Amino acid sequence: MTFNYPNGQEYRPQMLAQRKLHVSSQSRRGMSLEADINAANEYYRTQKIAVIYKKPTPVQIVDVDYPVRAAARITKAFFRQPSTTDYNGVYQGHYIDFDAKETNNLESFPLKNVHDHQVKHLKAITEQAGLAFMIIRFTRRHETYVIWADLLLEFWQNQLTGRKSIPYSTIVKFGALVPDKLQPTTPYLEAVDLLMQTKKES
Amino acid sequence: MTFNYPNGQEYRPQMLAQRKLHVSSQSRRGMSLEADINAANEYYRTQKIAVIYKKPTPVQIVDVDYPVRAAARITKAFFRQPSTTDYNGVYQGHYIDFDAKETNNLESFPLKNVHDHQVKHLKAITEQAGLAFMIIRFTRRHETYVIWADLLLEFWQNQLTGRKSIPYSTIVKFGALVPDKLQPTTPYLEAVDLLMQTKKES
């Protein structure tokens, strides 16, 4: 005897597990860190947990065509150098500011993935008592970490004389691992919570 | 007998006053509210008082030409509907979020200057304990006010049955006047400070 869903589809106990597996492996294969974070932000906004957006790409608009009103078409524009990070917003009273980077490296996060203006901006945010951090994904390890901007700054300032990357072991030690979930797949604010707790205790 | 500045220019007691008047009237004539706020934000960043930026205009990029590397030219793009306000950032630990509007009206601020997505966003920010407000300039009065988003929301929700504008007198009563200064010309955070004090006392 078989049971059917209201839509007529046959019920099989293992279906949900299969679907979970499917969603999860697909999200790891197909989606970039940026897409994961955008999805997390949408989830956080809907659930009223936080209001965080990715900033639009800064563009210098030169020429615009108006064939009909309300259908303006930009015909000439240039990319401008951003002066901030990609993401900011508010999380239960806290100002949040971060950038997100992926690396294929296994043993370290190369500092060449980061730009000078991003480091300067994160430093300014820290000075204003905002929560400034970096989300780093080790793609081949399927692991995503949150580290405070302070840690990044320390390595950034020493890179002329010291090493030009942050060791994986340092990120594991001082960062917080973002758990793997179904919804959202990358709940990075849970890692931020962990880091905030550590800050209070230290 | 006349005194001279080190650069040889003659000292006249009324010069400073004249210059003040000149700068002030020029800023009122030539600069828009947006330019004033951008200048204030630059001042606040330089003085490490706050880190607040205007967000880039959201653009949907369709075609890009790469004649040479590092000189990408966007040849087809469209304006996207923004989902947030124009400005956000951090002010001594506080998350700040606002929009700025000018009106030529003398006796009221028309709600048609505001968009639904802006109101929804400011409401979401208030729910996250961020500081959400509106900067309103009465151009012909040469007066700029800061009001909490709460006040805007109240009038916004009542506009179907009630009036479709916020009276000038209400803005004067519940808002804070931005003082006129030389540097920056529109120190809007001073008005925010005033409003925060009132909030604590009430």
pLDDT in tens, A91-111: 999 999 999 999 999 999 999
Is there a contact between B89 and A74 if contact means CB atoms under 8 Å apart? Answer: no
Mean pLDDT lowest for which of A60-64, A93-97, B23-27, B133-137?
Answer: B23-27
Tell me which residue in A80, A90, A129 faces B130 most closely, judged by beta carbons: A90
pLDDT digits (tens, 9 = 90+) for B44-60: 999 999 999 999 999 99
Domain boundaries, chain A: 32-201
In the 8-state DSSP scheme, what is residue B6?
T
Torsion-angle region of A33 (φ positive above 0: left; ψ -120 to 50: alpha; else: beta) = alpha
Q: What is the pLDDT of residue B192?
A: 98
Q: What was the pLDDT predicted at B68?
A: 74
Q: Which residues of B touch A83 (CB under 8 A)?
A: 53
The CATH number of A32-201, from 3.90.1150.10, 3.40.1350.10, 3.40.50.2300, 3.40.50.300, is 3.40.1350.10
Residue B200 pLDDT grade (very low, low, confident, very high; cuts 50, 70, 90) = low
Across all residues in chain A, what is the average pLDDT? 86
CA of A132 vs chain B CAs: smallest distance (Å): 11
Within 13 Å and on the Cβ side, how many CA atoms surround B89? 27
- Whether the predicted pLDDT of A24 surpasses 50: no
For B48-107, list the strands marked E by DSSP: 51-54, 59-65, 73-79, 87-91, 94-103
A116 is in an annotated binding site: no
Interatomic CA distance for residues B21 and B146, integer angstroms: 24
Q: Of the candidates B95, B86, B91, which has an alpha carbon nearest to the alpha carbon of residue B189? A: B91
Nearest-by-Cβ selection for B90 from A58, A76, A130: A130
In the predicted structure, residue A54 carries a pLDDT above the cut 50: yes
On whether any CB of chain B is under 8 Å from the CB of A79, the answer is yes
**Whole-number Cα distances in Å, A122 to A130, A148, B67:** 9, 9, 34
Instruction: Compute the average pLDDT of residues A163-177.
Output: 97
Place of tokens 């929700």: B157
What is the predicted ipTM?
A: 0.82
CB A182 within 8 A of CB A27: no
pLDDT, residue B201, reads 59
pLDDT at A11: 43
Whether the ω angle into residue A179 lies within 30 degrees of 0, i.e. cis, is no
Confidence of residue A71 (pLDDT cuts 50, 70, 90): confident
Asked if B57 is an interface residue toward chain A (Cβ–Cβ < 8 A), one would say yes
